[in-house]
Amino acid sequence: MILTGIADEAGDHIDAQIAATKKLGWQHIEARFVKVDGFEKGSIHEIAEEAFDLAARALEDAGIQVCSIGSTIGNWAHSITDPFEITESEIDRCIQRMHRLGAHIVRYMSYSVLEDGKENDLEEQHFEQRITRCREIIRRFEQEGITPVHENCMNYGGMSISHAIKMQEEIPGMRWVFDTGNPVFNPDRSKPRPYPRQDAWDFYQALKPYIDHVHIKDGNWNEAQSECTFTMPGEGQGEVQRILSDLSANGYEGFISIEPHVATVFHDTSKPDDDPEEKAREQFESYVEYGRKLSAMVSQCA
């Protein structure tokens, strides 16, 4: 198992991402969002060409490799009803930049869950259209020598185990990035409302034959408050140690990528930045601590 991390969780700026990776003694990052001087933070495959070039050169100069791209392709911010041309443009830019970075794995999703104004799932989820698009996403990356992996996140394939397996049956060659923490807070939409949360171990077992990449986050679901408190690895309901032990026992040799969410919840923009410098320091240090704890857990599996 090779340890890496979604580096924007250590800091927005490429310098912070490189520094955290070096402090952990790791050789790779999983690139998702990045900021360089003179430009706004953005997706590694969507930022301006000049910004991307600066980020790529910084990584090259530091001797840090990019193992994978956490793309926004088909993610929870994209609707299946949006024109496919949006996805096609993202794929084209992503492929070009992955070749420059030498990255061989890309995360994608199967578009957001369609809901009404009261957060009820619509009966019509355009399943066939999702399958058609996912097949094309997979085809385009694979013909470039890149492995596309679908994440069990806030998208159609992450709605429940049965939704994921339904997709797998339609696309037998489909590969996955399994995130240990996503089932902790994602509703099991195969059950009646009010939805229970998913079970991390059961979801992992269902996808195990198809997993090529792993994200590690952990947390505890508070039913009364309807929210997840993210924790250090092994301290929550994500079955992290159990899953790591099983991966090791089955000879998994791929990447294990941390996505802590401890000091910063990536999707949460509701909290004010009272002290940006303190927040950045806390974010950096918690990322490094998280990585060290995970490294110790992986060592126990050897």
To the nearest 10°, report the CA torsion of 244, 245, 250, 252. 30
70 phi and psi angles, rounded to 5 deg? -90, 80
**β-pairing, 33-34 with 42-43?**
antiparallel
Residues paired with residue 283 on neighbouring β-strands, in sequence order: none
Sign of CA dihedral 268, 269, 272, 275: positive
Measure the CA–CA gap between 256 and 258, rounded to whole angstroms. Answer: 7
Measure the CA–CA gap between 55 and 287, rounded to whole angstroms. Answer: 20
Which SS3 state, helix, strand or coil, does residue 213 take? Answer: strand
In terms of residues, how long is the chain?
Answer: 302
User: Band of the pLDDT at 108, cuts 50, 70, 90?
Assistant: very high
| Burial label, 177 (beta-carbon count in 10 A; 0-12, 13-18, 19+) | buried
Q: In the prediction, which pLDDT does 193 show?
A: 87
pTM of the entire predicted model: 0.94
Mean of the per-residue pLDDT values of the chain: 94
User: Band of the pLDDT at 124, cuts 50, 70, 90?
Assistant: very high
Beta-sheet strands, E only, within the chain: 2-5, 28-31, 33-34, 42-43, 65-70, 105-108, 147-151, 175-179, 211-216, 218-222, 227-231, 255-258
Q: In the prediction, which pLDDT does 269 show?
A: 54
pLDDT at 297 > cutoff 70: yes
User: Band of the pLDDT at 118, cuts 50, 70, 90?
Assistant: confident
User: Band of the pLDDT at 143, cuts 50, 70, 90?
Assistant: very high
User: Which segment of 5-9, 193-197, 214-218, 270-274 scores lowest on mean pLDDT?
Assistant: 270-274
Evaluate whether 149 touches 160 at the Cβ level (below 8 Å): no
Higher pLDDT pick, 251 / 278: 251
Which SS3 state, helix, strand or coil, does residue 172 take? Answer: coil
pLDDT at 271 > cutoff 70: no
Q: In the prediction, which pLDDT does 270 show?
A: 56
The pLDDT of 99-117, averaged and rounded, is: 95
Assigned token pair, 240 = 């992290």
Which has the closest alpha carbon to 10: 36, 37, 25, 29? 29
Measure the CA–CA gap between 6 and 28, rounded to whole angstroms. Answer: 10
pLDDT at 231 > cutoff 60: yes
User: Band of the pLDDT at 276, cuts 50, 70, 90?
Assistant: confident
The pLDDT of 88-108, averaged and rounded, is: 98
Sign of CA dihedral 41, 216, 213, 179: negative
Fold (topology level) of 2-301: TIM Barrel (3.20.20)
Q: In the prediction, which pLDDT does 224 show?
A: 92
Measure the CA–CA gap between 180 and 244, rounded to whole angstroms. Answer: 10
Q: In the prediction, which pLDDT does 150 show?
A: 98
pLDDT at 25 > cutoff 70: yes
User: Which segment of 69-73, 176-180, 269-273, 297-301 scores lowest on mean pLDDT?
Assistant: 269-273
